[in-house]
Structure 1
Amino acid sequence: MRYTDIAIIGGGLAGSTAAAMLGRAGIPAILIDPRPVYPPDFRVEKLSGHMQIERFRKTGIAEAVLRAASHETENWIARYGYLLDRKPVVQYGILYDALVNAIRTEIPAGTEQLFAKAVSISTSAERQRVLLSNDEEISARLVVLANGLNVGLRQTLGIERRIVSRCHSISLGFDMVPVGRPAFDFPALTYFSERPDDLTPYISLFPVGKTMRANLFVYREIDDPWLQRMRRAPEETLNATLPRLSRITGAFRIGGDIKVRPADLSVSAGFLQPGVVLVGDAFETTCPVTGTGTDKVFTDVERLCNVHIPNWLATDGMDAGKIAAFYDDPVKKACDEWSAAKAHHFRSVSIDKGLYWRAQRVARFVVWLGEGLLRRLLHSRTAAGGNASRFSIIRSRTAP
């Protein structure tokens, strides 16, 4: 029997981040995952936006981890074959396995990592027991379930996974290679759908190392023949779906395997129990189209490790009343509600054909165009002002 304060089950993004944070805080914890090195997995491939990066920074490990990512500061926005804006961004391209493994290197040596599978959990208001596939047992004050979509352990505790929207979206990941030239003209690109019938909210292109990575999102069923066409003839299918995309990208080919990931929207029921807490996708999933899943993970883990676990460990016991404070945390709840609302709104604004949603699409196009025009105007004025200043300096230096 091994004894610890915190047993973390699942060594993906949420679990590995929690282990790094608790270890740095000097809180005894054990990370349980069967894989010593996290394998390739088509999930998060980009961290972007000031808010998302700021949430990551609150974990205390962001700066070290992001050194392994490809940093980009400009993203082109395009639709209908027109470049609308060259928008300043904070964006880091990094494949999910590289992200998780970089986070694992930030776990202090004093935090144990056990490479086995958790096969059962027994919980109480005092201590929890976890049985592993190698017959070891862990006794912990708290179990953090960070095992994503693996529902087996949760079901043994009576925690249900309820589907809110089945196959809400499908994500496709692949490499894009320019044809006839060494590189694309853009540093990164978001190209939005041209018609609701495309069932495609957008495609995002961004650098990961020396590769231009593409994440394409669609609102289709998993048995849609379009997916087979995309696998068999990817360039032709993509050009048929977004016919004016090549005006921005130029000629391209799709290299390597095409990864496909359907996403259900789901919530947990019966989760408030003594001695166990759910974080990330184990608690509630979101839609990859919105990019808010990473926000939810960082928010969950930051609030749990920086606020609630230190408070819980300060007194005896680990009853449901303590655990409720995490689920009722106003910062966590606000992030969960924002993420869920955005998942449904993004789908409607992309494919719904009602008058309201058509107006929303037109309004978004006008806003993007207006922002781009204003940015170019300000840039030209700044450049003109700089040229005038330099001309004045030259005149003053050459005046008799």
Structure 2
Amino acid sequence: MREFDVAIVGAGLAGSIAAAMLARAGHAVAVIDAAKTYPDDFRVEKFDGEQMRVLARTGLSDIVLASSTLDRSVWVTRLGFLAEKRLSDQHGFDYGRLVNTLRAAIPPSAAMMHAKVTAIANSPKLQRLTLSTGETIEARLAVLATGLNESLRASLGIGRIELERCQSITFGFDMEPAQAASFPFRALTHYSEHPRFRAAYITLFPIGARMRANFFVYRRLDDPWLRRFRDAPEATLEAVLPSLARFTGPLRIVGPVKMRPVDLCVTEGYVQPGLVLVGDAFGTACPAAGTGARKALVDIERLCNGYVSRWLATPGMDVDKIGAFYADPEKQESDRRSLALARTTRAMAVDPGFFWGLRRWLQLGATRARWTRNLVRAALSGTVGNTPYDAPARPPRQSA
């Protein structure tokens, strides 16, 4: 029976980063994932500057920078108006390609096992993992980075509390201008114009030479609108975002339209000896709120930089050690913020009440005021005409 310091179950984004960090720190690491090559998967497709700063603390940001495309500037529209043009530091990427690049950065000292974990017997001393190959391994600590997989959590008595079924649905697709040579912006975030459309926003950003779009809506899975969007995406998009074409010009959706619904869930009974849950395995985040990637990155960074090496330096892996990670102030704040933003983002998009309507107009005013302030600063510094704060270019003219 092979023995390790840490066994990481799941080698997606979170698991691959954890494996690279812990193996680089000199720990004996086993990484268990059924897929030899991570498949094309519709999940996280960009990091913003805040997420990149968390990633920098893992020591792996250079890999992400080399595998992504910086947007540099973005137009922001609200309630059908151009609210702002500003500098931007978002990095777009293909999720599967990025995960495989991160896997390649895991030091060869780590044992890569292409199998499924069928059972875990955990204890304050050693964790015994049974694999689908029939092999059994032992580790002092088991890290579950298994995403939405329920079987292992359930077998360990870890419950799942559903806060909101189908909290949001995300669509992903490539876009191109139907008549112009290119879009008049590097990136665009276009917010929904009215709660009746039940949409949060669409964001367009570059990945290489492609313009990628993520579109966030609040619909039930049995809503006939979903089928209409899959069957006629351009017409359906125009109906729910009627002013979008004012900024993009006529556009065309190319390639497959991918869809990902997300339930908002938390776990219970997770403080157990020798076992840590990270990312979606611990609790989901709403993609429309933009906190899911940061939440997973904070989990991994705090665990690998703040706790694992210290735990391994002393005997045992009891609940006092494990509980310290879940009580980490930065992790707890990240989890609270993620849940709060999920609820606020949804209310801002779909609540027709006076309070949320007023907040939408106030947000437009605040964004425009910030843009005006930046324009004034650019004028005073003599850089007007050389910054993304300048008056927008005229969108491509639509043909008659």
Matched, 1:325 2:327: no
TM-score where L is the length of structure 2 = 0.94
TM-score where L is the length of structure 1 = 0.94
Corresponding residue number in structure 1 for 2:124: 125
Corresponding residue number in structure 1 for 2:42: 42
SS at match of 1:201: strand
Corresponding residue number in structure 1 for 2:291: 292
Q: How much has 1:121 moved relative to structure 2?
A: 0.5
SS at match of 1:134: coil
Corresponding residue number in structure 2 for 1:280: 279
Cα distance in structure 2, aligned partners of 1:318 and 1:173 = 42
Matched, 1:190 2:171: no
Cα distance in structure 1, aligned partners of 2:151 and 2:276 = 15
Cα distance in structure 1, aligned partners of 2:335 and 2:80 = 35
SS at match of 2:22: helix
SS at match of 2:134: coil
| CA pair 358-106 structure 1, distance change in 2 beyond 3 A | same
Paired letter, 2:21: M
Cα distance in structure 1, aligned partners of 2:345 and 2:187 = 21
Deviation sequence 1:306-345 (CA, Å, 0-9, x none)? 1110111111011111100000011100111011111001
Which piece of structure 1 moves more, 156-165 or 74-83?
A: 74-83
Corresponding residue number in structure 2 for 1:349: 348
Corresponding residue number in structure 2 for 1:379: 378
Cα distance in structure 1, aligned partners of 2:124 and 2:114 = 27
Paired letter, 1:34: A
Cα distance in structure 1, aligned partners of 2:296 and 2:269 = 20
Contact 1:122 1:130 in 2 (8 A): yes
Which piece of structure 1 moves more, 93-102 or 275-284?
A: 93-102
| CA pair 383-297 structure 1, distance change in 2 beyond 3 A | same
Cα distance in structure 1, aligned partners of 2:363 and 2:324 = 39
| CA pair 385-120 structure 1, distance change in 2 beyond 3 A | closer
Contact 1:82 1:248 in 2 (8 A): no
Which piece of structure 1 moves more, 302-311 or 96-105?
A: 96-105
After superposition, the CA RMSD in angstroms is 1.4
Corresponding residue number in structure 1 for 2:224: 225
Corresponding residue number in structure 1 for 2:175: 176
Cα distance in structure 2, aligned partners of 1:386 and 1:232 = 42
Paired letter, 1:46: K
Cα distance in structure 1, aligned partners of 2:156 and 2:385 = 66
Cα distance in structure 1, aligned partners of 2:384 and 2:88 = 25
Cα distance in structure 2, aligned partners of 1:270 and 1:112 = 29
Corresponding residue number in structure 1 for 2:397: none
Paired letter, 2:118: V
Corresponding residue number in structure 2 for 1:395: none
Contact 1:170 1:260 in 2 (8 A): yes
Q: How much has 1:386 moved relative to structure 2?
A: 11
Corresponding residue number in structure 2 for 1:199: 198
Corresponding residue number in structure 2 for 1:88: 87
Q: How much has 1:384 moved relative to structure 2?
A: 6.8
| CA pair 200-356 structure 1, distance change in 2 beyond 3 A | same
Contact 1:175 1:254 in 2 (8 A): yes
Paired letter, 1:205: L
Q: How does 1:294-313 map to 2 (within 5 A)?
A: 294-313=293-312
**Structure 1: any 5+ residue segments left out of the alignment?**
388-400
Cα distance in structure 2, aligned partners of 1:290 and 1:259 = 19
Corresponding residue number in structure 1 for 2:395: none
Q: How much has 1:73 moved relative to structure 2?
A: 1.2
Q: How much has 1:282 moved relative to structure 2?
A: 0.3
**Structure 2: any 5+ residue segments left out of the alignment?**
387-400
Cα distance in structure 1, aligned partners of 2:383 and 2:42 = 46
Cα distance in structure 2, aligned partners of 1:303 and 1:383 = 43
Deviation sequence 1:145-178 (CA, Å, 0-9, x none)? 0001001011111001110111010000011111
| CA pair 385-327 structure 1, distance change in 2 beyond 3 A | closer
Matched, 1:23 2:8: no
Paired letter, 1:363: L
Contact 2:378 2:384 in 1 (8 A): no
| CA pair 281-233 structure 1, distance change in 2 beyond 3 A | same
Contact 1:81 1:246 in 2 (8 A): no
Cα distance in structure 2, aligned partners of 1:217 and 1:292 = 14
Cα distance in structure 1, aligned partners of 2:270 and 2:299 = 15
Cα distance in structure 2, aligned partners of 1:131 and 1:65 = 33
Corresponding residue number in structure 1 for 2:336: 337
Cα distance in structure 1, aligned partners of 2:275 and 2:325 = 11
Q: How much has 1:354 moved relative to structure 2?
A: 1.6
Contact 2:375 2:384 in 1 (8 A): no
Deviation sequence 1:163-214 (CA, Å, 0-9, x none)? 0111010000011111122211110000001001111110000001111000
Paired letter, 2:190: Y
Cα distance in structure 1, aligned partners of 2:316 and 2:234 = 59
- Larger CA Rg, structure 1 vs 2: 1
| CA pair 377-2 structure 1, distance change in 2 beyond 3 A | same
Cα distance in structure 1, aligned partners of 2:45 and 2:320 = 37
Q: How much has 1:83 moved relative to structure 2?
A: 2.0
